[in-house]
Amino acid sequence: MKLAHAIAGLQVVLGACGGHHHGAARTDDPRHLYVEIAAEGSHDDALSDGAARGLAGMSFVRPADHNGDVELQVEVSRMDTTGNTTVCSVKILVLRLPSHDLLGIADGSAHVRGTNGTARDDCAAGVSATLVRGKVRTLLRRRLDDKR
């Protein structure tokens, strides 16, 4: 019975981070911040693409698949259609790795013309890119300063 509880507890911990493992953060490069992107739920590809576009303009950021300093957990918190318009809201959790300490939360909304899958993806990608270039950039810059 104890083994079953231990396995269930481990599944909860792994599920909280999408089941992937984080290695030690990068301490060998104090000039750059290594950032992982984890998109969850529907429109995950659009969310990842948008967040990556937002990060692309930051010379102090390096994308990472593992051993990052920070993880951006990106998700759609709302997706609605009204008439010929799609309205979406996106939330980004900024987490220090490997401890998963919450550094901050950024959220925002937008609307785009159209109601098909492309419009929904465009809305999610656009909001995530805008959030990363704005609110998240400030958090990342602060984390880089702390790393130095």
Q: Give the burial class of 135: count Cβ atoms within 10 A of its Cβ; 0-12 exposed, 13-18 middle, 19 or more buried.
A: middle
Q: What is the pLDDT of residue 148?
A: 81
For 26-68, how does the pLDDT look when each residue is reduced to its tens digit (9 = 90+)? 667 889 999 999 998 889 999 999 999 999 999 999 999 988 9
137 within 8 A of 56, measured Cβ to Cβ: no
- 101 domain residue, yes or no: yes
Q: What is the pLDDT of residue 43?
A: 94
- 20 domain residue, yes or no: no
For 86-112, how does the pLDDT look when each residue is reduced to its tens digit (9 = 90+)? 999 999 999 999 999 999 999 999 999
User: In this structure, how many other beta carbons lie within 10 angstroms of the beta carbon of residue 101?
Assistant: 9
- 24 domain residue, yes or no: no
Of the pLDDT bands very low, low, confident and very high (cuts 50, 70, 90), residue 15 is very low
In sequence order, the 6+-apart residues with CB closer than 8 A to the CB of 23 are: 66, 67, 98
Indicate the helix (H) or strand (E) that contains 50.
helix 44-56
74 within 8 A of 47, measured Cβ to Cβ: yes
Tell which phi-psi region holds residue 43, choosing left (phi > 0), alpha (psi between -120 and 50) or beta: left
Indicate the helix (H) or strand (E) that contains 63.
strand 61-63
- 6 domain residue, yes or no: no
- 27 domain residue, yes or no: no
Range of the domain at 127: 32-147
Query: How far is Cα 31 from Cα 69, in angstroms, rounded to an integer?
Result: 12
Tell which phi-psi region holds residue 97, choosing left (phi > 0), alpha (psi between -120 and 50) or beta: beta
- 11 domain residue, yes or no: no
Count of domains for the chain: 1
Q: Copy the structure tokens of residue 53.
A: 């576009």
- 115 domain residue, yes or no: yes
| CATH number of the domain enclosing 69 | 3.30.160.150
- 75 domain residue, yes or no: yes
